Structure 1
């Protein structure tokens, strides 16, 4: 029986306690098995090296070296290290995992003649597939596995989940960080790229679910085709061209990439193929997952790193370990324990060692004096990458756990039961040499966050990694995500401004989003807010109404405070009406004074002098009661406005009616044997005034008892003002009041009209007819005008009607008499009366 593959590439450092490792730095050219024939033996030819991944092996060796030199950890034991490579191939991963456990030239399961090489734990692998292949074997022997892959293997694929520990935070923290990053920059129109495998599908589906919950739309989703080995990329030319065309034509400025090694290699090849010999430049912001370490391999020709200038990536939180750079300087390609360094050296420096199995014609000879620090950053970094930092901490986790287990024993055991290490791994917690606290949670995941890194590239293929933010799930809710946009370098096409990635221009304040049929919800039209509503932010789904005490401005992007609307003494209209009312009051008082002064003259005594006094008094009060309608309404003014006006006007119109009836009855009394003589006199006139006024007073009393007026702030009557008004309580009672006044005025008008031609020098009937005609005309036009106005103009209309109707009565009845009294006193005599 022979193994299908005897791997010569390995790193071995003996020790009393051995730690195994499965690295992922080689791509080998193997044909996949199709199960139609017995598979050929895989030959261990010289592989292609993912050069930056060699640092993972060196970080393992460096951590072991530090621990062995530290007398506080395992002081009586030395750590050993045995590392194989996965070659990104399932069969080789299984083979090399078995080689770690049963290290003979021929692998015989469950048989090991060299117990010193038996590992207490295994570090690996780089991706979830490799980690799953390793776990499938290690779980059978209960050997702890510490992986540094970002995506965890599916729990159902591992028989015993407790055997797997992860030196990375939960991947959900990275998804959450991506959403927060997109929200921070208001990027709502993005593309997604991933490998077309289960891991890529999980990446896409998780983001799709999160994006739908957070108002982010996916412009495109592209999956890279899976190849059985690296040489298959040439068979996917059409697929790569289609993917690159999508990237170029898409309006999305942001592209999220599940940036594992295969994905980034394919993406670089796709961009290179499309540009026919030079990398096509895209005005895209690349947002990479924490797999990415910006590597450039020698076999990717004409690679232009400028395409990734300004990219943002998540990275497992790391701190610079300065002694690591000194460790790199002492690396020697002739090291006997490191079986990886020679092939790395040859491909990194493009040279061959003299004793190589390959031909050395036209090739530079490797001297071994080349310096790692001379290699450009995309090929090899001197500072420890985030993945190397995770591997470095993984060694320390195993060492601290084993130290705790070893210290807990009262007696040394020749062959320790390494499955007991699990309970010490679960609670491990320490501070590493860089000062970071390292601990695992109950799920076996690292309690840590992600750094957000901005990648700045230069034409000479050098680059800078600038930490611009942090996603820390351990922090308080308001500090879990932080990013400093001021120190981010963007692609030159964006002119150093934060790029926008939207399906369309945002809707400005004053507009709301309107869905486009058949388009994603991030693609929309902008509709102006309807009257009465505003939007004060960009991209609002709907406009909102202002509070009752506010109104929208013309742009409909802000609510302004409404002014109070009432007829004020301070505004010109209020001042004018007040002056007019007071002036008419003065005129009425002046007329009253004339009548009192000439009270014994015939023209004053005619038609009942007391009725004239009563009418003048009521007219004076009518002019003054109009002032109740000016100023901000209060409870007292609201109660007195209409009721006072109604009762006072009823007295005035009743006095006019009594005057008219007095004229008629006076002529009827002169007839012989008149039976109504007893009704003529002051008592009759007073009875008419009191009875008519009492009815109006009764209407007002019922009104005040049933539904009295009250002050009210009407928020909705006018769009930009709060109308401070008197709510009439019962509008019907108000119209009953007006109707009764109209009835009295109409009766007065009819009686006066019939008596207008009676022979009398001082007959008032014709003047009363004109006064009642004016009165009725004013109040008939008042009703439609009052109902068609709003706010303070309703009070204005009523004041005008009060003043106009009162002035009509005053002018038509009293001004002719005043004219005679003052200017034609000769007509004011008994002789003139008898002559007529």
Structure 2
């Protein structure tokens, strides 16, 4: 007779738990199924012994030693029965499993647990003979951590039992969520030694905490007092995340806790189906079968009746219930006992039984080649040592009904696969568990955690994902700044500095845009900077362009007029050739203003200041030559004067050439040593790229401008002293006014130019060019045009020599 040990977990010593009894029935069903199958261990009958520890460690130890001894009381290292003990299945909880694994490991008895999940049991050196048909909590903790972060819950509370299962499991979860950037708002312990499980203190912490998501590592019976206290204090706005210990339990399916647990999400053991199991469950009878004591408890609990031959085992009732007859039918009801739609622990114990049977079959048939005796025959299935079966269990592989192959790794663990379950509220006020996803550690990267979020019921009125954060997320354009003395998840949002952006939510740092980019208004992305220069499309540029073009035509029209009247006395008296040259130069002055408008290309930057300086030098040189000629001409009229030879046309042209050549040398040195160039100015306005011409050498620029000022000043002084020379139409008067206006414009230009920036710098220079050019035309040529067109009587030799 082979003995398989099974322990049933109950809520309280005298309270019956139909879910756990269903697990016992699964073991019985599996043993009968194996014994009836001729292809599995033919001519061998499996047997079992069952112990109910009532969740008392001493009874766990007592039951194990009785199984090892084969007698009514334990005798260490002694076995009274001839039947071979193959393996021990159980216990239900991790802490008893650890205790028994120490004992069974010494004797190398295989131990297969269907529910113990603590990661401590994966230590092969400490527990060499322990196996389990459920994944280790190390995987569950990673799965819960990923689940919490998937929904953006970065501020969570932790609640765990004060045993190995709860404390180790919650510590692993804590490590996972902290490693992923989430934070723990509080961590409380469910004290199992207290009748109320420390519920009042725990619920007070839950109520006062700003965390809305609570991860709970507990078993159903120990969580019930906590939910009871939450119900009493009307705390319904918390999102509970469950471990496999309670997330799929039917204890909370009734309407009592529906407001609290509705919307709960968590991990549960992968479910499976057992063909024919429901029929087996419904055939149970309280007066027949090997589980009669438990069947009577099931009967009384299911049909709310009482067997009169004994005291009601589920506890005294104030009002006697109806009598149980045994004729009641389990098929007529649907409860936790005969619900086989989603078998989890029940399926695991069924699987554990088949694993032991498969290992025994492999041992009998020498399938893996282990332990063949010297005559090349296999071991005697009726007489073998525990360590010999242990070798076969390590290598066992069975195919589950789902099509997945189950096997043990080097630590005695199976591949971690969980169902993600969600509690949905039913119309009748109860809740039921619905699978909404899965966590498969063996899946490809990116497919480990898969969830159908549209199938999740969140238990809230708007059915939106609950928010559980210490601080609201920082939108793009802001960065997170930690709060002193607070966890990393508690922060304040600070706008990114000028020139920097953050393009993700909850960005830790802002990043700078490249030199040619600038943040948008929300500082969420970099956009290309606007390029600014004095363009033809700009209203200011268009106005100056129009003015420059129109102004260019004015000297041409005046020149045309002068050519028409070139033989008249006024034209001859005022040096006709120099006047024509001056008009051409003024037309070029107006024209060179256009070089300062448009995109500052390299060639344009290189030539425009030099062209401006040379053209204006030529213009002022002409005026200076005219002024000096006026003075020389007057002085040459005196008897015996030797200055007559200096009044020739060639002398004036030579004088103009000398003045022009000096400016030409200045410009040549400027262009060769430190020429102007195109510059992208991003310092003046960080949000703009101001394209402008850098003059290269400020000294050279001001030297060119200063030389122009020098010529104009000399011309002004000479003209000023010559203004009272005899003659009715003395041109020195008009030169004086023109030079005064010219100097006034350029003296005013200096502070305006130095204070202007960007395109306005070019605009100021253009304005000075146009204004000074118009000053010369207005003061020197308009009076002549007036006489030529409107006062022809003054255009005579008599009038010219007549004194005013």
Structure 1's 818 and 720: CA in aligned 2 closer, same or farther, altered over 3 A? same
CA distance in 2 between partners of 1:19 and 1:682 (Å): 137
- Match in the other structure for 2:748: 781
- Deviation at residue 138 of structure 1 after TM alignment: 1.0
Matching of residues 312-711 of structure 1 within 5 Å? 312-338=265-291, 340-356=294-310, 362-372=320-330, 381-407=339-365, 408=367, 411-414=377-380, 415-458=383-426, 462-492=430-460, 494-557=461-524, 559-671=526-638, 677-711=644-678
| 1:187 partnered with 2:153 | yes
Please tell me whether the aligned partners of residues 214 and 238 of structure 2 are also in contact (alpha carbons under 8 angstroms).
yes
Q: Secondary structure at the match of 1:169?
A: coil
Q: Shift of the alpha carbon at 1:185?
A: 2.2
Instruction: Report the counterpart of residue 25 of structure 1 in structure 2.
Output: 9
1:105: how far off?
A: 2.0
Q: What's the offset of the Cα at 1:469?
A: 2.0
- How big is the shift at 1:554? 4.0
Aligned length: 788
Distance 1:798 1:442, change over 3 A: farther
Deviations 1:545-587 (Å, cap 9, x if unpaired)? 4444444444545554433323333343333222211111111
Q: Secondary structure at the match of 1:49?
A: coil
Decide which of 734, 739, 761 is 1:772's aligned counterpart: 739
Moved more, 179-188 or 458-467: 458-467
Whether the 8 Å contact between 1:328 and 1:382 is mirrored in structure 2 is: no
Contact 1:377 1:461 in 2 (8 A): no
1:702: Cα distance to partner?
2.9
Q: Report what 2:113 is aligned to.
A: 147
**1:266-345 to 2 correspondences below 5 Å:** 266-271=225-230, 274=232, 280-295=234-249, 303-338=256-291, 340-345=294-299
Residue range with higher mean Cα deviation, 773-782 or 333-342: 333-342
The alpha-carbon deviation at position 666 of structure 1 amounts to 3.1
Deviates more, 1:181-190 or 1:662-671: 662-671
Please give the alpha-carbon distance, in whole angstroms, between the structure 2 residues aligned to 1:257 and 1:137.
31
Mapped contact 2:625–2:652 kept (Cα < 8 A): yes
1:731-746 aligned at under 5 Å gives the runs 731-746=698-713
CA–CA separation in structure 2 for the residues paired with 1:629 and 1:616: 21
Partner residue of 1:264?
A: 223
Shift of 1:483: 2.0
Distance in 2, matches of 1:434 and 1:207, equals 29
Match of 2:179 in 1: 213
Instruction: Tell me whether 1:248 sits opposite 2:207 in the alignment.
Output: yes
Instruction: List per-residue Cα deviations over 1:188-247 (Å, max 9, x = no partner).
Output: 2222111234543334433433333333233332212231xxxx415x6xx422222333
**C-alpha distance in 2 between matches for 1:72 and 1:761:** 142
Quote the Cα distance in structure 1 between the aligned partners of 2:325 and 2:32: 26
Show the counterpart of 2:716. 749
| Deviation by residue 1:277-300 (Cα, 9 ceiling, x = unmatched) | xxx4511111101111554669x9
Instruction: Give the whole-Å Cα distance in 2 for the aligned partners of 1:399 and 1:727.
Output: 92
Unaligned runs of 5+ in 2: 370-375
SS of the equivalent of 1:766 reads: helix
Cα deviation 1:601-646 (Å, max 9, x = unaligned)? 3433445433323322222122122222222232222222222222
Residue matched to 2:21: 54
Structure 1 gaps, min length 5: 1-13, 30-46
Q: Distance in 2 between matches of 1:67 and 1:797?
A: 103
Give the superposed CA RMSD: 3.3
Q: CA shift at 1:451, angstroms?
A: 1.7
2: CA distance between counterparts of 1:469 and 1:744? 91
Match of 1:116 among 57, 71, 83: 83
The two structures have a TM-score, normalised by structure 1, of 0.85
SS in 1 for 2:30: helix
